[in-house]
Amino acid sequence: MKWETVIGLEAHVELSTKTKIFCSCSTEFGGAPNTHCCPVCTGMPGTLPVLNKKVLEYAVRAGLALNCSINEYNRFDRKNYFYPDLPKAYQISQLYLPFAQNGFVDIKTKSGARRRIRIHEIHMEEDAGKLIHFAKDNSTCMDYNRCGIPLLEIVTEPDFRTAEEVTAFLGKIKSVFEYLGISDCKMEEGSMRADVNLSVRSEGASEFGTRTEMKNISSFRAIERAIAYEAKRQTEVIENGGTIIQETRRWDDVKCQSMSMRSKGNAQDYRYFPEPDIPPVVISKEEIQHYNDICPEFAGERAERFIREMKLSEEDAEIISASKNLADIFEETVKICEAPAEVRFWFMSGVLYYMNETNTDACDIKLKPEKFAEFINIVQSGKITRISGKQVFEKLLSCDDFDIMTFIKENQLEQVEDTGLVEETVRSVISANPKAVSQYKNGETKILGFFVGQVMKKLKGKADPAIVNKAVAEGLDRTNSNRENAK
Amino acid sequence: MTALETGAAIKSGKITAVSAAEQVLDAAEKGNEKINAYITVCREKALKRAAEVQKKIESGELTSPLAGVPFSVKDNICTKGIRTTCASKMLENFEPVYDATVIKKLEAAGGVVIGKLNMDEFAMGSTSETSYFGPVRNPRNLSRVPGGSSGGAAAAVAGKMAVAALGSDTGGSVRLPASYCGVTGFKPTYGIVSRFGLIAYASSFDQIGPVARDAADCAAIMDIISGKDIMDSTSLDTESPGYLASLTGEVKGMKIGIPRECFISSGLNSEVAEKVMAAAEVLKNAGAETEEISLPFLRYAVPAYYIIASAEASSNLSRYEGVKYGYRSENFSSLSELYSSSRSGGFGKEVKKRILLGTFVLSGGYYDRYYLKAQGVRAKIKKNFDEIFSRYDLILCPSAPDTAPESGRSLDDPLKMYLSDIFTVSANLAGLPAISFPCGNDSSGMPVGVQIIGKAMDDVKVLNAAHAYQKLTDFHKNFAEVK
């Protein structure tokens, strides 16, 4: 029998407001434990929450961008449970009246498939603190810095069928929120987290199977692994004649397996009730309209524009425009240096390579367009080759506060313009490799590349590859004719 | 001396803020052995502060009519650096790191906090007998309870151990003890006084209010503590009417409704009925019109109140679990044991009872049946009041069905104790301003309180009616001397 996986998501996204949702503490990531908190966010007796208006604005803009209908009358509810990271022993959230409902997101997976994922609702809530365990003395301490960071919880319908669709959806959310400037959605910093609801059923079935919920998934790759694991586990249970228990499972990405946390039978009763400390918040139609009006251009439109105006391929345009930061750098740089193809080259080979190697998030790439354009001009003018350009560009990605030309001169990276030197190097390489020369003679013309490589190496990549190519070909041909002459 | 008289005497130089504080501190410390009205008396802090205030009064920096006046504060209002216990073992040694908004305002006006008042644990109770620090006694008769939960406040004012006090009223917690002790207690419109720093019992009912010798003092205190606070989203953004300045003492033409249900309810002491009707007569003779009205919902008020208040309390008190501050049991081997053991050991019986009740009514399957239904009743009660106040200025009724009961008898009969709130809880359910003030004594010499309730935001009208009555009578000048 063929099995189909059905997945629904609950994605938590931290909003990047300057201050917390119910007090004026900083939301900055990091900081020594318990330095970004106050009596309000640590739930000291007698304190009261006051809603940060910016959170509501960000929330509404997110809801509109994800095609939701926005509720004008908003209320918060208390979700009651005991855990040391929750100092009030309740989380202020929205159960009865979430601010946004019935939206959708259109996604495109890597394999090019397009799907529409429906959004059931989005609600606002506060984040909890963090437990820090010390193995040394088996103690646990609390860090309340994260307490009260504003969160949006995006609840989708069970519309996903593959892990690829899930990561495409999260990537799209990340892109949209970055364009709105309301969140950086960094999974590794915990500003985006997802709980995965998953069930399997025989392909073509109309009813859903029993689902499990997996918590604690903290990276795109972990999500893929967790989904693969859980789908396989459920399928095996069913194929072996067992039944799936509705339960919450914790994903352990190190052991690469999920473990049961609690089943539905002892599911928590959160005893939700309307938060009496915060009066209902009304968003006017005018405000909603205003936020609709200031909706920015998103990745999709921007990619189309890049294809049209800068002649990028669809794939390149989509990769660059997915991140507002990258797209801004790209567009600004092209505007200054007017060389889209060269900028594209450095983006695809340099920037993306750097992000992968250093595990840097797209929104943390700090590349000044003026500097980038200056660099492009230098490459295009032939002052340096692309090969030695790599060194300069890497430096540019990690720090932009230096003079490019001085750096090039100090590191002797200028292109070798002395054709005599090139020719001399070619001659020495040819005479040092007689075996290769005879291979070339015997028609192995591919060996030409070897000679070019050797010459470039000797010249430390500073010569124009085209000139070297030409010189090598001429040099080899000359040897040829010399020999013939000798005959 | 009333608070205003004390303030005037300090201003004129007859006495100083320091001597006023000393006098109250002496009386508080001496009287406390019998009355147990205070959990903490802060002599040194108060005297130091009084000296500073005195300088500022002399330099003209402080001009409030209550500058230099000693104040006593219920122990559920946070005072920075002064332990704030809620009369609970749970917070026995809890020192807040911040001042409640009312304390900030009081101190900015030159008030001098002299101590923290005993109360029912976490303000849950009607007798001030549930305190971890022992019961408060009624200075009128030491074998009687002072009422609750602001029993320490009413007893201290009645026993001249305090000039004026700040209490809190969730279901009658300022008015009931004021009634039992023969002093004046005012619960403002919900939202007029900031709750920031008031340790929550039931958030949608809690309101800080003054307990004092008369309505004029209450008005003068309202001038100081009322007003919008950005730290409390439920505080109302309204302009102060100038409470003290608005007291005319005139009630001519005022329409006062007297609910018949209050007088036919079983358990109403006939002497109470008689004194309350006599009080209505006084106002009528002063030009007010009195008329019988109906409050058909009255019998649903107490159950609705206890369901909602307990629900909110169960959530509000969850934060006391032994992790961050307060009492932590030593007997635990797991996280859940840390919680259960600390909460079992840190809370008293009445508090645990209400937490259980509140947890129950919010539980899956019961929420609709209890909590939502009670909210429905609450909405109906509000509507009923709106309708009445479209025709009447004020409602007059007893503050409680009876005078102060004997100590030690109420907690075993909780239903009877809960019913002592029957006349006060409606004002909390609807968020209305209400005042209780003395209107005579019963045959055993215990004071009887009369209550006046007004429309939301009509706080001045309520205070003024009490003030008019007190201009014509002397019941509020009758004090108990604690020997």
Question: Is B105 a residue of the active site?
Answer: no
| Residue indicated by tokens 């002399």 | B58
Residue type, A30: G
Would the CB atoms of A276 and B339 count as touching at under 8 Å? no
Mean pLDDT, residues A283-302 taken together: 94
Domain parsing of chain A, residue ranges: 3-291, 299-410, 419-486
The Cα of B190 is separated from the nearest Cα of chain A by a number of Å equal to 12
Banded model confidence at residue A266, pLDDT cuts 50, 70, 90? low
Which of A285-299, A434-448, A471-485, B277-291 shows the lowest mean pLDDT across its residues?
A: A471-485
Identity of the residue in B203, B233, B339 whose CB atom sits nearest the CB atom of A50: B233
The Cα of A63 is separated from the nearest Cα of chain B by a number of Å equal to 25
Length of chain A equals 487
Four-CA torsion B415, B416, B420, B422, nearest 10 degrees: 50
Q: Which of B94, B316, B340 to mutate to test the interface with A (most CBs of A within 10 A)?
A: B316
Q: Which helix (H) or strand (E) holds B60?
A: none
Would the CB atoms of A48 and B324 count as touching at under 8 Å? no
Q: Are A164 and A10 in contact (CB under 8 A)?
A: no
The Cα of A118 is separated from the nearest Cα of chain B by a number of Å equal to 28
Instruction: Name the nearest CA neighbour of A434 among A483, A487, A468, A486.
Output: A483
Would the CB atoms of A84 and B234 count as touching at under 8 Å? no
Give CATH superfamily name and number for B3-248. Answer: Amidase signature (AS) domain (3.90.1300.10)
Identify the pLDDT of residue A475: 82
Summarised one tens digit per residue, pLDDT across range A329-358 is 999 999 999 899 999 999 998 899 999 888
What distance in Å separates the CA atoms of residue B415 and residue B409, rounded to the nearest whole number? Answer: 12
| Exposure string for B253-262, b = 16+ CB within 10 A, e = fewer | ebebbbbebb
A486 pLDDT higher than 80: no
The Cα of B193 is separated from the nearest Cα of chain A by a number of Å equal to 14
Q: Which of A81, A93, A273, A275 to mutate to test the interface with B (most CBs of B within 10 A)?
A: A273
Instruction: Name the nearest CA neighbour of B422 among B330, B256, B305.
Output: B305
Enumerate chain B positions whose Cβ falls within 8 A of a Cβ in A: 76-78, 84, 86, 91, 94, 96-98, 100, 195-200, 202-204, 230-234, 311-312, 314-315, 318-321, 323-325, 335-336, 339, 359, 362-364, 367, 371
A481 pLDDT higher than 70: no
Encoded tokens for A350: 């340099």
Mean pLDDT, residues A366-373 taken together: 92
What distance in Å separates the CA atoms of residue B282 and residue B287, rounded to the nearest whole number? Answer: 9
Residue type, B290: T
Question: Edge-to-edge strands of the sheet including A257-263?
Answer: A69-70, A100-108, A114-126, A150-156, A3-14, A192-202, A212-217, A247-252, A257-263
Encoded tokens for A486: 């000798």
Alpha-helical segments (H) within A297-418: 299-310, 314-322, 324-337, 340-346, 352-358, 369-380, 386-398, 404-410
Which chain A residues are Cβ-neighbours of B166 within 8 angstroms?
Answer: none
What distance in Å separates the CA atoms of residue B159 and residue B37, rounded to the nearest whole number? Answer: 9
Identity of the residue in B233, B363, B371 whose CB atom sits nearest the CB atom of A269: B363
Summarised one tens digit per residue, pLDDT across range B15-49 is 999 999 999 999 999 999 999 999 999 999 999 99
Q: Residue A196 in 3-state DSSP?
A: strand
Identity of the residue in B96, B97, B319 whose CB atom sits nearest the CB atom of A43: B319
Instruction: Name the nearest CA neighbour of A174 among A160, A157, A193.
Output: A193
Instruction: Name the nearest CA neighbour of A85 among A30, A33, A42, A114.
Output: A42
Q: Residue A96 in 3-state DSSP?
A: coil
Enumerate chain A positions whose Cβ falls within 8 A of a Cβ in B: 39, 42-51, 78, 80, 82, 84, 87-90, 142, 269, 271-273, 276-279
Q: Are A85 and A115 in contact (CB under 8 A)?
A: no
Would the CB atoms of B196 and A46 count as touching at under 8 Å? yes
Summarised one tens digit per residue, pLDDT across range A397-429 is 888 788 888 888 888 777 777 778 888 888 888
Fold of A419-486: Arc Repressor Mutant, subunit A (1.10.10)
The Cα of B24 is separated from the nearest Cα of chain A by a number of Å equal to 27
Would the CB atoms of A88 and B203 count as touching at under 8 Å? no
Banded model confidence at residue A454, pLDDT cuts 50, 70, 90? confident
Q: Are A26 and A18 in contact (CB under 8 A)?
A: yes
Question: Is B233 a residue of the active site?
Answer: no
| Averaged pLDDT, groups of 10, chain B, 483 residues long | 97 97 97 97 98 98 97 98 98 97 98 98 96 98 96 97 98 98 98 98 98 98 98 95 97 96 83 97 98 92 96 98 95 94 97 97 93 97 96 97 92 79 95 98 96 98 98 90 61
Four-CA torsion A364, A369, A370, A371, nearest 10 degrees: 50
B257 or A485: whose pLDDT is higher? B257
Q: How far apart are the first and last CA of chain B?
A: 18
Q: Are B249 and B468 in contact (CB under 8 A)?
A: yes
Residue of B nearest to A143 (CA): B324
Would the CB atoms of B335 and A84 count as touching at under 8 Å? yes
Identify the pLDDT of residue B483: 54
Identify the pLDDT of residue A487: 45
Cis peptide upstream of residue B444 (ω within 30 degrees of 0): no
Q: Are A60 and A67 in contact (CB under 8 A)?
A: no
- The strand pair at B447-454 and B394-398 is best described as antiparallel
Q: Which helix (H) or strand (E) holds B459?
A: helix B459-472
Would the CB atoms of B234 and A276 count as touching at under 8 Å? yes
What distance in Å separates the CA atoms of residue B38 and residue A249, rounded to the nearest whole number? Answer: 52
The Cα of B313 is separated from the nearest Cα of chain A by a number of Å equal to 11
Identify the pLDDT of residue A265: 59
Domain parsing of chain B, residue ranges: 3-248
E strands, B132-226, in order: 164-169, 184-187, 207-212
What distance in Å separates the CA atoms of residue A60 and residue A54, rounded to the nearest whole number? Answer: 10
- Please pick, among B64, B88, B149, B341, the residue that the annotation labels catalytic: B149
Residue type, A19: T
Q: How deeply is A109 buried, as exposed, middle or buried, from its count of CB atoms within 10 A (0-12, 13-18, 19+)?
A: middle
Question: Is B149 a residue of the active site?
Answer: yes
pTM score, whole prediction:
0.90
Mean pLDDT, residues A102-122 taken together: 94
Which of A106-115, A229-238, A270-279 shows the lowest mean pLDDT across its residues?
A: A106-115
Would the CB atoms of B203 and A82 count as touching at under 8 Å? no
A431 pLDDT higher than 90: no
Mean pLDDT, rounded, of chain A: 90
Q: How many CB pairs under 8 A join A and B?
A: 99
